[in-house]
Amino acid sequence: MSANNKNDKQNKEQRFLPTTRKEMDALGWEQCDVILVSGDAYIDSPFIGVAVVGRILEALGFKVGIIGQPDIKNEDVKRLGEPKLYWGVSGGSIDSMVSNYTATKKFRNNDDYTPGGKNDKRPDRATLVYTNLIRRHFKNTVPIVLGGIEASLRRITHYDFWTNKLRKPILFDAKADYLIYGMGEVAIREFSTALREGKDPREVRGVCYISKEPVEEFLQLPSHQECLDDKEKYIDLFDDFYKNNDPISAKGLCQKVDTRYAIQNPPCDYLDEKEMDEVASYNYIRDLHPYHKPQGKVKCLETIKFSIQTHHGCWGECNFCAIGVHQGRTIRTRSEENILSEAKEFTQDKDFKGVISDVGGPTANMYGYECNKKLKKGTCAEIRCVDYDRLCKVMKVDHSRHLNLLRDIRKVPGVKKAFVASGLRYDFIPADKKHGYEYLKELVNHHISGQMKVAPEHTSDRVLKLMGKPGKQPLIEFKKMYDRLNKEAGKKQFLTYYLIAAHPGCEEKDMHELKQFTTHELKMNPEQAQVFTPTPGTYSSVMYYTEMDPETRKKIYVEKDNARKEKQKNIVIDKSYYQRRKKSNNGMQS
């Protein structure tokens, strides 16, 4: 953070963005320029997308109000009146259907972004519900703009697990005017400025809209009807969609939907380091708005209140993960100076106990390095940075910046502990011959709390290839390093493993193989595993719907029965499973 930015932050009155008419009156506002509606309660934090958008617009001089989790049974959405320029609608930090239902479609009782924790505030398909709510109470209103992960991942024809069918791009279902996709920090600035100046926002990069005519110079995707008629056409559509997500190399996309067209402009530019620092340095309260507090605490604050987000993006490209499509496959980092400034600010907070919950990002050990070729030409169209059996030679894994950053954070007076709780790519650590061992040693000695979480997801080579995950050998190498370092440090710290059952291509025999590996190689019994959930924006969901390998177009086994999905999960977590299986086999032999 520059000295001027730091002084501005210290001198500026710290306040929430208004969420009530009373707050608007106190500010002397007759009308907001923009009103943001979210499926989360209003938490003012750099980890909450709507709060970040609000602060970005505030810095540009816009009057911004936020309505978190409006009551859909009454006129709650009217509490701030109608905005002058536009409504911004988000389903929240988590896809509302994933937030509300498990992988076997059971309702979730808890919501970490709802005061009191009870899941009774976020409607199913929140983006659609809120848009309809606005249209019901404000006839012929100003434009409605969709954003957030729920909308971003549904900007083209997409598979909907909850209804088991392909749905149209969300702009058609929501009857909204525009959609800003991805992280969209640059797009939201340019879009809002264009509206304020009376210009056409359809020229802004990172924006989607509906058109009566195609944009001929854009890449023409298979139509919605073609996707309905032919599953291979749907794979073609997703291939083009996935490959055109980089600001440097992407083309605009055009898809026919009935008699109209879904238009996706090329992605907006990523923030550079200076801009990353600026967005992280806005005057966030890092708390729940007082409007919501009588309803109880929000659980997510336990994690995010004193956490530091070091970067955006991930180039790991796990096939079941949508981070690459939503955040991008290029790492954008904050400066060490800016991150250390944030750590020092924590120590001035009356609630800070000396513990930073997390120093990381989507993948913590991607901080501070990138492929120079990608930075100049964009992501490669045909080659992944990391795949099942290889790490691209051009991508030089280097943990040194994150290593030195962690050491500097520990030196901040008032910081007792700084954990790295974000996901780690364990396979990158043995791959980094210069700093990998030293980096892991630093984590073991100073930055984990009794256990480290890693995500091998599976151990069957066939399933791992479909997942886009590394093979077993890097995990074995990593575990040896981890165990040796703990022994040297005199610590009894453990590894816990994220595992997935019922991923496309996974059969019961693969779960037996996984169970044997965890028992004999890892010397442990997994206590948890998750059933795969198909969500928009991932190749794994394409596999689930089409029952084909998108690369070879060959048929693959896909488990779709909920009881058998649970059985796959239970194979790997059930402590008595093998005893029962042995007894059953003995009975059959007799």
Binding-site residue positions: 314, 318, 321
Q: Which amino acid is at 309?
A: Q
| Residue 120 CB-density burial (10 A; 0-12 exposed, 13-18 middle, 19+ buried) | exposed
Helical (H) or strand (E) element with 172: helix 170-174
| Residue 106 CB-density burial (10 A; 0-12 exposed, 13-18 middle, 19+ buried) | exposed
Which residues sit opposite 454 in a β-bridge?
497
What b-and-e string marks burial along 240-258, b requiring 16 or more CB atoms within 10 Å of the CB? bbbbbbbbebbebbbbbbe
Structure-block tokens of residue 346: 């924590």
Q: What span, in angstroms and rounded, lies between the C-alpha atoms of 175 and 162? A: 21
Helix boundaries (H) for 380-507 = 400-410, 428-431, 436-442, 461-467, 472-489
Give yes or no for a contact between 255 and 214, defined as CB atoms under 8 angstroms apart.
no
Residues placed in the known binding site for [4Fe-4S] cluster: 314, 318, 321
* SS3 assignment, position 384: coil
Structure-block tokens of residue 210: 């509906």
Q: What span, in angstroms and rounded, lies between the C-alpha atoms of 60 and 50? A: 16
Give yes or no for a contact between 539 and 238, defined as CB atoms under 8 angstroms apart.
yes
Structure-block tokens of residue 153: 């991942």
What b-and-e string marks burial along 138-161, b requiring 16 or more CB atoms within 10 Å of the CB? beeebbbbbbbbbbbbbbbbbbbb
- Beta strand 386-387 pairing with 390-391: antiparallel
Per-position DSSP letters for 425-437, written without gaps between them: -TTHHHH-TTTHH
From residue 471, give the alpha-carbon distance in Å to each of 390, 421, 457, 479: 9, 23, 10, 14
Per-position DSSP letters for 97-110, written without gaps between them: HHHHB-TT-PBP-B
Q: Please provide the distance, in angstroms rounded to a whole number, between the alpha carbons at the two ends of the chain.
A: 74
**Which value, in Å, is the radius of gyration of the alpha carbons in the chain?**
24
Structure-block tokens of residue 31: 């009308």
Please choose, from the candidates 271, 263, 261, the residue with its C-alpha nearest in 3D space to the C-alpha of residue 190: 271
